[in-house]
Amino acid sequence: MTTRAEEFAGLSVALTTPFRNGEVDYETLQAQVEFQVEAGTTCVCPVGTTGECPTLSHEEHERVIQAVVEAAAGRIKVMPGTGSNSTQEALRLTRWAAAKGADAALVVAPYYNKPTQEGFLAHFQTLADAVDIPICVYNIPGRTGKNIEPDTILRMAERPNISLVKEATGSMDQASQILAGSDITLLSGDDSLTLPLMSMGGRGVISVVGNIFPKDMIALISAFESGDIAEARRWHHKLFPLCRDMLGMSTNPIPIKAAMKILGRDTGELRMPMTPLSPQQEENLRATLVKYGAL
């Protein structure tokens, strides 16, 4: 199956934003990008939900995007988060990212102010008219407070460069309607739903678990793409308990940052109002990583 933004098929990783003593740790951020390049990841997505973008200043948000684009150096695609609940702010940041060399923009649905469906449509069309890079509609009503309905996404898809959807509603019916009605590239926004969504025509995932196990996520996707459904199912069954037990224990990105700290790849530092796992939760997470074979 070929979709409109086929170059983004496969594994994209929603990068964490590493902090050290309260400041963005750009050296560790660069190492994260190198880790994904070496793994063969298709795309990295900084400053999204996993990147704690709500706690970054505007200047930090821009600097992280620029740092990731520079670290990527054309070896891996970069799709930074450029969304906002203000259309003007999203427009400014999306234009800025495009000018700095981003390959696409990950634009979350305007949150908190709960626009009408016409408001969602106008918001994304405004951005699409302003830049040439592909725009990925990030639909995550559990965070934003309101769903972008499938009919609205199909209307958005009439713009050539609104060419991707990060589907994080958890609704198979919603995903089916989008896939049946357009050639838009649909990427899972939930690690554990990657295989189910690909079976319906999804083209990959924007992954949290990929921060630590990108090669395993790539193996699942590659097995499905090659027609080895049994192997894809085996990887799904291996990854599912990890996704359930790790990502389910607290709000993203708290568990993934804790896991990266345990694995020696990050300080684990968060910004308020995000707070660390409890000692018992951290012990449970360590046990989950041992069971998976990471420790």
Asked if pLDDT for residue 1 goes beyond 70, the answer is no
Short-list 67, 123, 129, 120, CA closest to 95: 129
**What are the pLDDT digits (tens) for 234-293?**
999 999 999 999 999 999 999 999 999 999 999 999 999 999 999 999 999 999 999 999
Burial of 55 (0-12, 13-18, 19+ CB in 10 A): middle
Q: What is the pLDDT of residue 244?
A: 94
| pLDDT at residue 205, as a whole number | 98
Cβ partners under 8 Å of residue 3, min gap 6: 9, 183, 184, 185, 186, 201, 203
Mean pLDDT computed over 13-39: 98
Known catalytic membership, residue 166 = yes
CA-CA distance, 262 to 268, in Å (whole number)?
8
Instruction: Note the pLDDT of residue 27.
Output: 98
Q: Which amino acid is at 148?
A: I
Are the beta carbons of 157 and 184 closer than 8 angstroms? yes
Q: Residue 112: is it exposed, middle or buried by C-beta count within 10 angstroms (0-12/13-18/19+)?
A: exposed
Q: What is the overall mean pLDDT for the chain?
A: 97
Identify the structural domains of the chain with CATH numbers, from first to last: 6-228 (3.20.20.70)
294 — pLDDT class (breaks 50, 70, 90): very high
Tokens encoding 54:
């709500």
Clarify whether 26 is annotated catalytic: no
Q: pLDDT tens across 183-219, in order?
A: 999 999 999 999 999 999 999 999 999 999 999 999 9
Sorting pLDDT into bands at 50, 70 and 90, what band is 59?
very high
Q: What is the pLDDT of residues 124-164, one digit of tens each?
A: 999 999 999 999 999 999 999 999 999 999 999 999 999 99
Q: Are 145 and 114 in contact (CB under 8 A)?
A: yes
- Both tokens of 230, joined, read 């049994």
Q: Exactly one of 138, 146, 257, 292 is catalytic; which is it?
A: 138
Residues 6+ apart with CB under 8 A from 45: 12, 13, 14, 15, 51, 78, 79, 80, 81, 106, 206
Q: From 225, 244, 289, select the one nearest 11 (Cα to Cα).
A: 225
- Residue 280: CB atoms within 10 A of its CB come to 9
Residue tagged active-site, from 26, 77, 146, 166: 166
Rounded average pLDDT over 37-52: 98
Q: Tokens representing 64? A: 């992280």
Name 205's bridge partners.
Answer: 11, 188
The torsion region of residue 55 among left (phi > 0), alpha (psi -120 to 50) and beta comes to alpha
pLDDT tens-digit profile of 92-119? 999 999 999 999 999 999 999 999 999 9
| Model pTM above 0.95 | yes
pLDDT at residue 173 greater than cutoff 90: yes
Supply the pLDDT for residue 3.
Answer: 79
Per-residue confidence band for 121, with pLDDT thresholds at 50, 70 and 90: very high
**Whole-angstrom distance, CA of residue 292 vs CA of residue 295:** 8
Check pLDDT > 80 for residue 2: no
